[in-house]
């Protein structure tokens, strides 16, 4: 059975390093997310436990490659529903 997976990217709202950033996730598994990121030239160093941080200027390229643009709330709900969400308090570097 073929499972249809979706890559989602939210609206770039997060300022850092002189630009705005978005989050890129899979609604099913991290292997798919990593493969998509590699195909779209998003470096592995941009991965943060359950998502990639991507700069605003990459959004057009990601959408053209098949990512679905969503709001931050929709992205968060999809990540939680996927079971892949890593909460801030569960991070390995949390005190």
Beta strands 19-26 and 52-55 are antiparallel
pLDDT of residue 85: 83
pLDDT of residue 3: 47
Determine the Cα–Cα distance for residues 5 and 14; give it in Å rounded to an integer.
Answer: 26
pLDDT of residue 92: 60
Q: What is the pLDDT along the chain (95 residues), one digit of tens a residue?
A: 444 569 999 999 989 999 999 999 999 999 999 999 999 999 999 999 899 999 999 999 999 999 999 999 999 999 999 887 887 666 665 54
Whether the predicted model's global pTM rises above the 0.75 cut: yes
């Amino acid at each position: 059975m073929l499972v249809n997976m979706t890559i989602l990217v939210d609206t770039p709202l997060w300022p850092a390093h002189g630009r705005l950033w978005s989050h890129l996730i899979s609604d099913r598994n991290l292997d798919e997310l990593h493969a998509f990121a590699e195909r779209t030239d998003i470096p592995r160093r941009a991965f943060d436990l359950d998502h990639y941080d991507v700069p605003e200027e990459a959004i057009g390229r990601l959408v053209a490659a098949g990512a679905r643009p969503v709001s931050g709330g929709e992205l968060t709900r999809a990540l939680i529903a996927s079971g892949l969400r890593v909460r801030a308090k569960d991070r390995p570097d949390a005190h």
